[in-house]
Structure 1
């Protein structure tokens, strides 16, 4: 009765004569009139489209809002209009005079050190020493509220500090308590709540401690070769309320580079505060966008199922329209219009949610995000999500909609017992391919990393093909199983391989989402395990920095006395910045993404007579121990490949304001996993003759050490050598693990959208087969089957399909995680069985639950109404 009423509404809207070519407004009017009965059957369709669009538009909008926040507060975050960053040296007088002549100049020094309570604990800190001009933009927030000068001033030979809240917690300090840093005495006068230039200054492993530059010099930590960064900020002009224009800023940077081409400083402007952060944000956004696109494509399977079910429900209506004179093209246009109307609603819902996400992030998580966020409506990000959603809807809808073109008129009478299985016409296959190609083109158009796009598309296509093959294998295997004695099990096996079985839909919908979940879970778990678990006897327990070369022998004797079973290693260490590759400026180089980091900022470098432990020569040869010729360089092999360099090529490095050019003598493979002493760049020993440098040392315990012994050694080292910075590897890895955990939250959030889409698609696939299941149940009940037996048959069926899909998802996700962890991250891979099995068990439970949820209603249907239609 309902179908005839629907047909009547459509026929009334189309009017007579129906054989005439229809104009779009008439088709649109007919489509809208048919929707008067509601959108029943389109719930999964709407939700899948809305979820995918919301994920893509939301990720893009949040990323752009973060970028806008950085741009809007760039001057305050950078600490001026331009920043000149130097490693291990201060400005020379000509450089200082030049910068000061263009505006206000402020200098900040950043270095690691140890803070000590007298006779008590010691803790690693990040010193930030500022001058009187700091801050030139923004304001440092202290608790209790007071001026920065009052908090940091000297009083009776004791300097004041403002420290991050973590320091008093670690050392048990209260306001007014005293502590020692280097050779100077300090008093904790305030807790550092916020600093305007925190992002530009970098995020360290220890609590931030703010002090004056005079206090830093009093500590005795500034020795030749000390690992210290000097940041010189310039506020152009008078630095007042009307800052210099962007053109003036760029002109000043160019003039500084021209005046001092060999200064070796890294320049940053208020528009480019943190190049590394911007690059990482772009990459992370691309990754999350592709994860969101995955959820949209998974949802596309739900779209196809929903449209296929819609066409099946409308077959009688279509047959009636055709019997009244409607053409196949008219029917296709009508149903396409209806699909686009529903898709537009889903696109609008997703766009609204995505547009609101930056505001939700700023409101709910603004205090937790360490970067400024400026929430706003971003049409570009929203448009990208809407375009992806529309193309996905078209790509997955055209083929099932095309089947409506040739739906036979006799379906009114015979479709229940003789359904049509005709393929769609060639034109609709072409439409489907065109939409799919357009979606692929959009992925490449919006993704800066084309390699990543190729990998993603290849993986997606391979996943679809593999899942289809797995479904066919499951059906073929079920068909070849011996005839079961148990009736319910026999019915279940038959349902798995019969024509129109749910197997392909269930495997496809659940397999993609589960594989993604397992892969991300295993990658996250392996990274955390790598950070937490060292290699006893190979992974150092301590790094010691800023060891004055003259005191290296005394320090080695100290370690041997306090840790006699430990292995001690020393290496000279300087900081330098690669400025040229084969005479070409590093800024103009085009390295691979995997090696671009080497050209960003300054790097640790060393010199050695022999091959460092943990390195293996790949190409070339090591220099003789008595080599006295021009500087030679040993370069890490993966970096050499990423920079496009070979043995014999030239690298110029700026160290302590001096350019040193050296030829690559060899490339070597480095085992970074031991966390031992090793460097990307190793020079021949004569390269830095006469240059001031400090030593880096490691201490490795054969059994991996223990916490109580390590903490005791840390305290004793801080007391005996106050200028030496001690880094406990376990603490550093724990800090890195926390950062990985923060990133994992965003990844899990995006992947949960894909998993939710999988569950929705699974529910839609099960719902789409409800009509056929109802007829099967009616016939079986007529032949004497009980409700219990039918329920057992459905339970076996869903359980078997879900189990096979879960096993595949676990295997595919594990394989993807293995490839990424071993070949991309170069880490050892371990199967984390509890996490993988939990995900597989959850998938199995969801499949059975959704299947039985839909089946329960079927079992209660009376046979008579359905038998009358046969």
Structure 2
């Protein structure tokens, strides 16, 4: 150890990088989760929240809530905010609050105003607050007035932050905060309007989670048909928590990939180090040292060096939550609770030790069994084969434990199992790819070019770098190709093929009394367009075959149907875009028991069959319908589609609004703006969603997510590059001898540079071809089979991968061999 860490810097960097990635990602995830838990009351806006759709709480329900604690009521809906002169408009997420809002946490505005002054009525005009993005979209300033429905509102302040924003879910439009009185005065709340009413309670101090759970059960028992969604402070932001868990799991697996790729660097470093110590090992053995003694001495040394790398990684991982607190403050709606998380760091350290042992035991085992005479005579350990069985078994056993621990510590063990299996499979395939490349090189025809002949010989000679280079670079490139193809296919689906068949507009909250007049106006403004219109209600699935859905375990593919509110409709005749897969449609004049048509894909995921019953709560009333048929739904068409379509008699007399789409494929942006202005002026209560704007938002989000994922996956590529550099450095001693002998025999520097460049280019090209094939297959499976979207191969990804592989292999290879070419011949020739 007094000899320093020469030759182990890549070893240390690989271990530190992988440990830091795993420990840091898990620490940051725990910090955010702790922040969510600690801020549960503020994030939810209360200790417990009851939410209703399309109706307000009844007098009995409000009395029940008032007896429990201090209530605060709010309502949310989408609508159109218009300038007073009608020259421009924008979609907004309206949030109307009462005088008790917020129960927890501060409402921040600029300037800071009292609740009464901010949202109250002055001279017949109610106040409002909005974020700066709405001011930018409408090109207005604080103090300007806008129209919302039939009401006029004055934007009195800039909305900086609302404490419970994260619990409201993702919005496609800017927030517009008004008072409940102002929203009612706007005329937007009509029977059947898509409005979500929330009632948040501030319970007495010291109320336990057990008491809150009892309140939740009491509400369900006392009002079985209320149909409200209940959420508590302990689960204030389930979507955020779920996304954090999924993303941290992905990053942990990426970090594990980097660590395992770094394990190849560990094996290379250990082999190169022992190769340089062959004289010392031979001397040990000549003086009577046993093989076990040699193994133990160098194992202890490797573990000490690994321990240093793990410590560096743990320090970096422990610092990540503190860095993330500052970096993510403007991104996350909740402060991360920066601290040191021993459990997260412990898992990272365990992985670091296991990777070191799994990859170091084989070269250490070889050194243990090589006799002293062979060590004195041979250049290294290349021809020694596998070590004896105990060492091989120990390495495989530790690798198996590493895989099991990776699965055990994962939040989604199914995905982790697939990931680990794919990694093991990739290792095996890459090993055989290296063997195949050497086999092809060995059997290639003799070429006239001296440089190319030398390059081909270097690929298949004993001790060649081919297996190490293919293995180290192959995993990183395959991961990046997979992610790039998935991202490219999603972008193509969103920005390319969808707009060709998607509607131009969605129109929501068309009142019954205005439906015919609305249709006439749209047909007049867009005579070449196709208008589709269906009735729409909102409901929540309460039971399947009489069993409470909250007590059911359903696969993720169908679980979303049972969570939250769903759009519902009724049809007398089979919709034109519906294809029945099972059962029959009801007669046009059907008047028997309520029937429902269910989406076949989601129905199969839930486990439904013909004749099963589905109970939905609509407007505070439970309705049970029998499944009459299943139909295929093409969600990607972005047309009007519903999971459930009921027979008309199911909701006879129920107030509802209408949903419509307008498809005008030839409409220009100017014509779309004209249609939007005409609809907004004539029907201010109708919410208009321009599909292109929504697609742009989704495309931007996908792009940001793709960039973040590729940046995270670059950790694995960095490890691959480090291992590649280590593998090339480990072979430099043999290359020094080759270069000296060839130069003695008359080879020029240009010939040697050309030979080395061609060697690295051929290996890099073979690795790139494998990465394209493996990454293409993996991306196709995810996009076509899991996401069920059209999958295409993207040539630009192929070109980029080949260029990256060649640049890395040739560039790093030439940097490493430049010193070899300048080595003096005499010292080397004396040792031959």
Smaller-chain TM-score bracket: over 0.9
Where do 1:273-292 residues align within 5 Å? 273-292=236-255
Q: Is residue 362 of structure 1 aligned with residue 362 of structure 2? A: no
SS of the residue 1:114 aligns to: strand
| Structure 1 partner of 2:188 | 221
| Structure 1 partner of 2:12 | 46
| Structure 1 partner of 2:32 | 66
| Structure 2 partner of 1:348 | 311
Distance 1:379 1:296 in 2: 19
SS of the residue 1:677 aligns to: coil
SS of the residue 1:370 aligns to: coil
What is the aligned counterpart of 2:99 among 132, 137, 142? 132
| Structure 1 partner of 2:683 | 721
Where do 1:684-833 residues align within 5 Å? 684-703=647-666, 705-833=667-795
Query: Is contact 1:809–1:840 with CA below 8 Å preserved after alignment?
Result: no
| Structure 2 partner of 1:3 | none
| Structure 2 partner of 1:476 | 439
Distance 1:143 1:269 in 2: 30
| Structure 1 partner of 2:537 | 574
Q: CA RMSD in A?
A: 1.6
| Structure 2 partner of 1:25 | none
| Structure 1 partner of 2:301 | 338
CA drift at 1:461: 1.8
SS of the residue 2:363 aligns to: helix
| Structure 1 partner of 2:198 | 231
Distance 2:753 2:500 in 1: 59
SS of the residue 1:129 aligns to: strand
Residues 742-763 of structure 1: CA distance to partner in whole angstroms, max 9, x if unpaired?
A: 3224312320101101101111
Q: Call closer, same or farther: CA 1:548–1:152 in 2, change over 3 Å.
A: same
**Ranges in structure 1 where 5+ consecutive residues have no aligned partner:** 1-34
What is the aligned counterpart of 2:71 among 99, 105, 110? 105
Distance 2:285 2:500 in 1: 81
SS of the residue 2:556 aligns to: coil
| Structure 2 partner of 1:92 | 58
SS of the residue 2:501 aligns to: coil
What is the aligned counterpart of 1:295 among 258, 272, 275? 258
| Structure 2 partner of 1:564 | 527
Query: Is contact 1:110–1:230 with CA below 8 Å preserved after alignment?
Result: yes
| Structure 2 partner of 1:146 | 113
Residues 299-351 of structure 1: CA distance to partner in whole angstroms, max 9, x if unpaired?
A: 11111211221222222211111111111111111111111111111111111
Query: Is contact 1:107–1:233 with CA below 8 Å preserved after alignment?
Result: yes
Query: Is contact 1:580–1:652 with CA below 8 Å preserved after alignment?
Result: yes
Query: Is contact 2:264–2:472 with CA below 8 Å preserved after alignment?
Result: yes
SS of the residue 1:190 aligns to: strand
Distance 1:204 1:415 in 2: 69
Query: Is contact 1:123–1:170 with CA below 8 Å preserved after alignment?
Result: yes
Distance 2:242 2:411 in 1: 11
Q: Is residue 861 of structure 1 aligned with residue 827 of structure 2? A: no
Moved more, 746-755 or 691-700: 746-755
CA drift at 1:817: 1.3
CA drift at 1:786: 1.4
Distance 2:423 2:631 in 1: 36
| Structure 2 partner of 1:79 | 45
SS of the residue 1:37 aligns to: coil
Residues 58-80 of structure 1: CA distance to partner in whole angstroms, max 9, x if unpaired?
A: 11111111111111111111111
What is the aligned counterpart of 2:134 among 167, 172, 175? 167
| Structure 2 partner of 1:123 | 90
CA drift at 1:655: 1.2
CA drift at 1:658: 1.1
Q: Is residue 508 of structure 1 aligned with residue 471 of structure 2? A: yes
Q: Call closer, same or farther: CA 1:284–1:543 in 2, change over 3 Å.
A: same
Residues 535-592 of structure 1: CA distance to partner in whole angstroms, max 9, x if unpaired?
A: 4662101000000122111111111000111111111111111111222211111111
| Structure 1 partner of 2:802 | 840
Where do 1:242-391 residues align within 5 Å? 242-391=205-354
Where do 1:640-659 residues align within 5 Å? 640-659=603-622
Distance 2:358 2:571 in 1: 60
Distance 1:412 1:510 in 2: 31
Q: Is residue 496 of structure 1 aligned with residue 449 of structure 2? A: no
CA drift at 1:424: 0.2
Q: Is residue 209 of structure 1 aligned with residue 214 of structure 2? A: no
Moved more, 108-117 or 61-70: 61-70
Distance 1:159 1:694 in 2: 27
Q: Is residue 524 of structure 1 aligned with residue 507 of structure 2? A: no
What is the aligned counterpart of 1:434 among 393, 397, 403? 397
Moved more, 57-66 or 99-108: 57-66
Query: Is contact 1:315–1:407 with CA below 8 Å preserved after alignment?
Result: no
**Ranges in structure 2 where 5+ consecutive residues have no aligned partner:** none
SS of the residue 1:116 aligns to: strand
Residues 201-252 of structure 1: CA distance to partner in whole angstroms, max 9, x if unpaired?
A: 2231111011010100011111111011111101112xxxx35222222222
